[in-house]
Amino acid sequence: MAAVARGRTGLVAVGSSFPGPRAAAWVSPDGAAWRRTSLAGPDASLLTAVATTADGYVAVGGAGPAAAAWTSRDGRTWTPSPVGGPPAGLSERMTAVIAWGRGAIAAGYADGPSGRVPLAWMSPYGSDWVRTPLPGRGSVLGLAAGDGAIVAVGADDLNGAAARVALAWRSVDGAAWQTAAVTGADAAALRGVLAIDRTALPAGTGAGPAFVAVGSAAAGLRAAVWASVDGSSWIPHPGGSEMSNYGQRIAMAALAHDRAGFVAVGGRDSAGNGSPVVWTSDDAVSWSRAPDAPSFGGGEMTAVVAGAPGWIAVGSLGWPDNWVATAWVGVTRP
């Protein structure tokens, strides 16, 4: 499971199944009991993101060298949404999607002889996608919209994972994009981003940034958080030992919030296939790391969503090589 969304019919998670890989989706009324849906992508397909729209759900990813999308009214029955093949010599992938009006905006990247370049796609109804290039090079890994802006975050990994540089972009309409400044010399990747709804935060939280992004710094050896008041510039929040992993890989992948505060999820290197990590915060500035649980052994959390009965995180478990789609339910914030 790569991503999860909450809609009027419950929870929808998307990802891929093996052998294949093949794009796959699951539904759940409560995060505890999950059922595979009718969505079965072709060989070499996968889904990386899902969003709730005015008409249901849209899920995006790729199939072979092309970006790919599916739509659904109830999360159970899915219809392919033609995206169009990439230009000659390129391969494309959608990695993030958000609702926009009655349609959606997706983003990702294209790979070609000159390296990786960021892309966005717009769709009025989850179909008829129109491709738009973003300035610079790199990959979009997360999208959010709020406070009059659309923000995209990601990384430039042209020189390898150890030399990744965090990136961000901003748009007011999804069609024209500008590069945003990311402060922090060791910023490695912004992987997830959230538009903050101040009305849904604890009373007394007060004014603050409009957007919060999470990811990694120090060549992936430290989890990290950035904030922005308008999406045009990003400032890192310094963290302590809760963001480190004894000199091994650790990263935040996604975050969510409700009236109880914020929860971020990700993963770290450890024995076997690594372990999920959960962080909590009242204000998205000061973070605490939740205690490891027995269910955390051998996997990684990739997404989280808030809502009854609590926090729902999705990802995978399995050691050493049998990955199993997995969901975790936090009835209360850790």
Closest by alpha carbon to 327, among 42, 12, 72, 7?
12
User: Phi then psi for 60, rounded to 5 degrees?
Assistant: -135, 160
Q: What is the mean pLDDT of the chain?
A: 90
Q: Express each pLDDT in 6-26 by its tens digit.
A: 999 899 999 999 888 999 999
Residue range 277-298, pLDDT digits in tens: 999 998 888 999 999 888 888 8
Q: What is the pLDDT of residue 208?
A: 61
DSSP for 163-186?
G-EEEEEEESSSSS-EEEEE--TT
Tokens 């400032």 -> residue: 235
Report the pLDDT value the prediction gives residue 20, as an integer from 0 to 100.
82
Residues of the chain with CATH 2.115.10.20: 1-133
Q: What is the pTM of this model?
A: 0.93
What's the rounded Cα separation, in Å, for the pair 181 and 254? 20
CATH, domain 1-133, list 3.40.50.2300, 2.115.10.20, 3.40.50.12780, 3.30.365.10: 2.115.10.20
| 208 vs 176, more confident | 176
What pLDDT does 283 receive?
A: 86
Q: What mean pLDDT is predicted for residues 199-221? A: 74
pLDDT value of position 285: 87
Question: With b meaning 16 or more CB within 10 Å and e meaning fewer, what string describes 270-281?
Answer: beebbbbbbbbb
